Amino acid sequence: FDTLRALGENFGPNAVWQFRNMIRCALPTSRPLLDYSDYGCYCGFGGYGTPVDDLDRCCHVHDYCYEEVGDIDECWPIRDNPYTTIYSYSCSGKKIICSCKCQNSFCFNICDKKSAALVVGFVPLTTALFIFLNAPDTELQPTWEVWSLL
């Protein structure tokens, strides 16, 4: 019960906007929802097939990240709907700074932060696997085997 009550503070209808805002933090002139919401096979809600290019692969990475964190025991209460989970972060000089106060915030914050970096081109896809495996974003370190599929 305490876990669900604590998580209640982290849910809201505007959570999907956080990923958009992270992209805009790193690329202020972008229009993520207009430019990427219906792009390729994976940008937007859902996804299927083979990514059409590097941008679509970034969206594919984001989708699979949500699936991966859903397998982490600490993330179980929110894994069914990651699009409504609100987390804490700030933007400073085109840099996304995560300020997670609870472990569950990590679960989707990290997916959005790293995927936003991929989308705006600050992290080449060829180095994505290394970054996902080695970035010390929190004490909770999930396995990121899924990135080897790209």
Which of 38, 60, 80, 112 is catalytic? The answer is 112
Active site residue 62: yes
- Contact assessment for residue 114 and residue 133, using Cβ atoms and an 8 Å cutoff: no
| Residue 63 among known ligand-binding residues | yes
| Residue 93 among known ligand-binding residues | no
Active site residue 60: no
Which of 2, 53, 62, 80 is catalytic? The answer is 62
For the four alpha carbons of 114, 115, 117 and 118, in that order, the dihedral sign comes to positive
**Cα dihedral 105→110→116→119 (10° resolution):** -140
| Residue 39 among known ligand-binding residues | no
Residues paired with 90 in a beta bridge: 97
Which of 11, 50, 58, 51 lies closest to 32, judged by CA? Answer: 58
Residues placed in the known binding site = 42, 44, 46, 63
Residues annotated as part of the active site: 62, 112
> Residues comprising the binding site for Ca(2+)?
42, 44, 46, 63
